[in-house]
Amino acid sequence: MRPPLVSVVTTVYDRTACLDRCLRAMRHQQFDSWEQIVVSDHPPDDALDAIRRLVETAGSRVRHLDTGTRLNDWGMTPAHLGLMAAQGEYVCFLSDDNAFLPDHLGPLVAILERDRRLGFVYSSCLYAGRTELRTCPPFPARIDLGQPVFRTALLREIFPAGFPFREFAWDWRLVKTLLDRKVLWKHRDVTTFVFRLAAYPSIMERLA
């Protein structure tokens, strides 16, 4: 059996209701070669059991990892744990309270497949019911980690031992590291990533 082309790393804290919505939304993807790796930051036993049950009922595409100890590092270590476990040639990061629209993965993967020079491609973003993030080139506070699809090997090469950032806005530091290394990228200006799905009730209903 061929491995999936894309690994979607979903970091979860204790918010099992959010995770349930996130897992349901992933089932609507039009692109079908993906896996989802749910990584928990070692929550209390009741939340951990609930996360495991959600993953077990989500289907064979979804698996669960746990950090083994509480880290509280804004999801950096869980995200890196998922990166290192990814089977896909491409990897993206989807926090438990966010969502991809059905046409998110396919077009971004197609761009990466056509141009092997590119290190990542990103979409535009519906942001918390307030605005849209469609900045090009990437800019601080104007891109979220959920927007890009990266080449897995590239991130593993640059960050083999973990993401070395110690700040809330570590997702921008990750992107900036790639930019500083002259990694080539492309922006697809279509809003297919949803930051804070609960802020968009109509979308949440469609993806239920």
Burial of 181 (0-12, 13-18, 19+ CB in 10 A): exposed
> Is a pLDDT exceeding 80 seen at residue 168?
yes
Angle between helix 45-57 and 16-26 (nearest 10): 10
Q: State which H helix or E strand residue 181 sits in.
A: none
Q: How much is the pLDDT for 173?
A: 96
Report the residue count for the chain.
208
Compute the average pLDDT of residues 148-160.
98
Q: 194 pLDDT band (50/70/90 cuts)?
A: very high
Domains of the chain: 6-206 (3.90.550.10)
Q: Considering the chain, what is the average pLDDT of its residues?
A: 96
Pairing of strands 184-195, 99-100: antiparallel
pLDDT in tens, 109-130: 999 999 999 999 999 999 999 9
pTM above 0.85, yes or no: yes
> Is a pLDDT exceeding 90 seen at residue 166?
no
Q: How much is the pLDDT for 180?
A: 98
Give dist(CA 54, CA 36) in Å, integer. 12
Pairing of strands 90-93, 148-151: antiparallel
Compute the average pLDDT of residues 178-185.
98
131: tokens are: 């605005």
